Chain A
Amino acid sequence: MAEIKIALAGNPNSGKTTLFNALTGSNQFVGNWPGVTVEKKEGRLKKSDGVTVVDLPGIYSLSPYTPEEIVARSFLVGERPDVILNIVDGTNLERNLYLTTQLIELGIPVVIAINMMDVVNKAGDKIDIERLSKELGCKIVEISALKETGIAEAADVAIAAASEGATGYQPFFSGIVEHALAHIEEAAVHERPQAQQRWYSLKIFERDQKVLEELKLDKKILDHIEADITAVEKNLDDDAESIIINERYLYVESVLSRCYTRKNKGKLSVSDRIDRILTNRILALPIFAVIMFLVYYISVSTVGSWATAWVGEGIFGDGNWNFFGLSLPGIPQLITNALPGNCPPWLSSLILNGIVAGVGGVLSFVPQILVLFLMLSFLEACGYMSRIAFLMDKIFRKFGLSGKSFIPILVGTGCGVPGIMASRTIENEKDRRMTVITTTFIPCSAKLPIIAMIAANVFGGAWWVAPSAYFAGIAAIVVSGIMLKKTKLFASETTPFVMELPAYHMPTFGNVMRATWERGWSFIKKAGTVILLSTIVIWTLSRFGVTANGFGFDVDMADKALENSILGMIGKGVAWIFAPLGFGDLETVVATLMGLMAKEEVVAVLDVLGYEGFTNNHLAGYSFLIFNLLCAPCFAAMGAIAREMNSAKWTAFAIGYQCAFAYTISLIIYQIGLAATGAMNIPGFIAALAVMAFMLVMIFRKGKKI
């Protein structure tokens, strides 16, 4: 039997993921579609050979605007799967069948799986399946993805339909539109395969640029067609694209009027009653605050941090750890014991201080990430996530972020890694990129020691240092949001805030666990590759250098004479760059570089090197603090950025922007501060004024319109 490819298409929240999981079980491959950060899932059909199921992103329409729609459309049109299994939410037929009308036109066999039939039946609504199937010209299977009924049948019917080919049945529009379509079909597309003629005519009617480019029609024919289209537009007082949308909905309405009866119009469902409380004008925000506090508290402060400490200090710690009362040796100890007695000290240092310390430090975030994702997956699956966007949109829209950016930033106060990964729930690609870039501006828990050190050692424990650090983080997000939104890269007039608020429902255990694990696993994989490599590089650079016997290697160099190592020399080499910020000393620069491993390192390195340069230089100390808070985060977070951006260019942009932004702000603080205290450095002051003027222009200029 030849390979069969089933494409799974349907609206978001129609139960598509649940159906996909039920169809494929554990035979799934998750990745990203080429070039965009839209999830690509493929799997092999359970209990059968040679059948691949492709899970297309959830879409409302096949119009080429959002990344999801583009991906789905180019897959369906370009790769032409053997059959489309269209999952339709039985409780929301009108809008779901709108997409179906577009799928049928492609000329690919379509099988409809009507989901949530149990809910429809319970509400007393009636769907005349037989009649609906006849009217739409495709086979219909009733399923419940949640209860896993009808799944095998849906797959069987789809496979059978694949071999039968498309039925050629098409939605019928009103006379005047059909007339124009017939003309187009006659004039321009009769050489195309029979099954695709309707689709091509419709696209020509809609003046779809991509299709017109592909067809390269004769100018004469085009003019002739254009006259037809304009006539219809004039007659119906609307543009061609809208006319087709209208016709589709009219068609669906008319079909449903014959096949669907609704019993209780206007009666409040359970979901409605839940929503009345959760988005209540007065209660909504307090409830939101409590839920957010719980998410933060459980994932970052309690369960997550216990688990992280357990892994970090236990499994990856020196000495023994406690496993339900059993005392077990930690991994470092296990490795120490396992290494043969004659193992060279450099090798054991590389393994223990380099790899285990570095990767272990990152892996110790895994429990925290899993706990967080468990809660986020739940919030997302039950329908509350879109309410968060609904509640917060007004605030975040002002500086170019999405209502959903709130969660990444909140989580980012604990750890930037899960914060960045939490941006996954933002559908709009531009909003998501912006969130990924700005999330780590908020001080994470690893930056707290830096704040504490500067507050204590430089400002004598002044109360305002810590709040000012958080304020700087928030201001950095707001300012960056406003500036970036006005650049061409992020101007997104094209993706407006038109969002479905799906009915609340209890998610299945399996789905939540699967979503949690998929996200956690992608982080673990990153730790095993990029982060492993980075830690080895830093380990090497901090242990090779000038020793008593000339250039060479010294295991203890990082702890005793960091300034002699290659890392130290790099620090010396680039120290001048930081001189305008007030901290161009070897020690502070090396500390900043080591901070890329983990931000706690900044304090540790300054301790080791016994740095005291800030004692009499408050301004430089504060500038150093701000730079380290805002610049590129640690490797783990950079890995998360790379994972979410799914593009080397965007990752480089994000990290480059963070460093440039940090540099600019520190420069302004230091140089203006110097001038204010009467120690003005003229070139520095001019530079600071110049960058400040540039930022103000970026903030207040008129944004790019698309």
Chain B
Amino acid sequence: MNTLKDVKVGKSCKVLKVHGEGALRRRIMDMGITKGVEIYVRKVAPLGDPLELSVRGYELSIRKSEAEKIEVSAE
């Protein structure tokens, strides 16, 4: 499975499915990471975690552990 965690900084991808469960999953989807949306990985924090993404025209930060649950299309 290709996940958002593996997408390199500066690359884009398309979301196939959001895995995980409960509030975490709901939160990620509420913030606009839903099936079919395009995500651009802007940067990684200086300490290596979390990530900064561009999605639906705004900037969102999520941890790598959360990015791991987002299945994306191969580049």
Q: How far is the CA of A365 from the CA of B19 in the complex (A)?
A: 50
A496 touches which of B17, B27, B44, B58 (Cβ 8 Å): B27
The reply to whether the CB of A294 lies closer than 8 angstroms to some CB of chain B is no
The reply to whether the CB of A306 lies closer than 8 angstroms to some CB of chain B is no
The reply to whether the CB of A310 lies closer than 8 angstroms to some CB of chain B is no
Contact B45 A65 (CB under 8 A): no
Q: How far is the CA of A61 from the CA of B30 in the complex (A)?
A: 6
The reply to whether the CB of A497 lies closer than 8 angstroms to some CB of chain B is yes
> In the complex, what residue of chain B is closest to A91 when comparing beta carbons?
B57
B26 touches which of A63, A94, A389 (Cβ 8 Å): A63
The reply to whether the CB of B1 lies closer than 8 angstroms to some CB of chain A is no
Complex interface residues of chain A between 270 and 308 (CB less than 8 A to chain B): 275, 279-282, 284-285
CB distance from B47 to the nearest CB of A (A): 4
Contact B46 A282 (CB under 8 A): yes
CB distance from B39 to the nearest CB of A (A): 13
Q: Which residues of B contact A218 (CB under 8 A)?
A: none
Complex interface residues of chain B between 47 and 74 (CB less than 8 A to chain A): 47-50, 52, 56-63, 66
CB distance from B14 to the nearest CB of A (A): 14
CB distance from A411 to the nearest CB of B (A): 22
Q: How far is the CA of A281 from the CA of B51 in the complex (A)?
A: 12
For this complex, into which size category does the number of interface residues on chain A fall? 35 or more
Contact A393 B63 (CB under 8 A): yes
Complex interface residues of chain A between 222 and 256 (CB less than 8 A to chain B): 238, 241-242, 245-246, 249
- Which of A23-31, A110-118, A498-506, A607-615 forms part of the interface with chain B? A498-506
Contact A94 B57 (CB under 8 A): yes
Contact A501 B66 (CB under 8 A): no
Residue interface bits A389-415, CB-to-B below 8 A is 1, else 0:
111011101000000000000000000
Residue interface bits A78-104, CB-to-B below 8 A is 1, else 0:
000000000000011111001000000
Known: A60-B30, A98-B32, A393-B63. A496 touches B24 (CB 8 A): yes
A394 touches which of B49, B56, B59, B66 (Cβ 8 Å): B49
The reply to whether the CB of A457 lies closer than 8 angstroms to some CB of chain B is no
> In the complex, what residue of chain A is closest to B48 when comparing beta carbons?
A394
Q: How far is the CA of A436 from the CA of B23 in the complex (A)?
A: 25
The reply to whether the CB of B10 lies closer than 8 angstroms to some CB of chain A is no
A65 touches which of B23, B49, B58, B60 (Cβ 8 Å): B23
A501 touches which of B18, B35, B59 (Cβ 8 Å): B59
CB distance from A470 to the nearest CB of B (A): 22
Known: A496-B63, A497-B66. A95 touches B27 (CB 8 A): no
The reply to whether the CB of B5 lies closer than 8 angstroms to some CB of chain A is no
The reply to whether the CB of B34 lies closer than 8 angstroms to some CB of chain A is yes
Contact A497 B50 (CB under 8 A): yes
Known: A94-B56, A496-B27. A394 touches B47 (CB 8 A): yes
CB distance from B38 to the nearest CB of A (A): 11
Q: How far is the CA of A523 from the CA of B30 in the complex (A)?
A: 36
The reply to whether the CB of A493 lies closer than 8 angstroms to some CB of chain B is yes
Q: How far is the CA of A151 from the CA of B59 in the complex (A)?
A: 28
The reply to whether the CB of A121 lies closer than 8 angstroms to some CB of chain B is no
Most chain-A CB neighbours within 10 Å: which of B17, B32, B44, B62?
B32
> In the complex, what residue of chain A is closest to B62 when comparing beta carbons?
A498
Q: How far is the CA of A245 from the CA of B37 in the complex (A)?
A: 13
CB distance from B49 to the nearest CB of A (A): 5
The reply to whether the CB of A494 lies closer than 8 angstroms to some CB of chain B is yes
Known: A285-B46, A496-B24. A390 touches B31 (CB 8 A): no
Q: Besides the contacts A245-B30, A246-B34, A502-B58, what 19 more A-B pairs have beta carbons closer than 8 Å?
A: A94-B32, A95-B32, A95-B56, A242-B18, A242-B25, A281-B43, A281-B44, A281-B46, A282-B46, A386-B61, A391-B45, A391-B46, A394-B50, A493-B23, A496-B23, A496-B24, A498-B66, A499-B62, A500-B59
B residues contacting A by CB (< 8 A) are 17-18, 22-32, 34-35, 37, 43-50, 52, 56-63, 66
Give 6 A-B contacts (CB < 8 Å), ordered by A residue: A242-B25, A394-B47, A496-B27, A499-B61, A501-B52, A502-B59
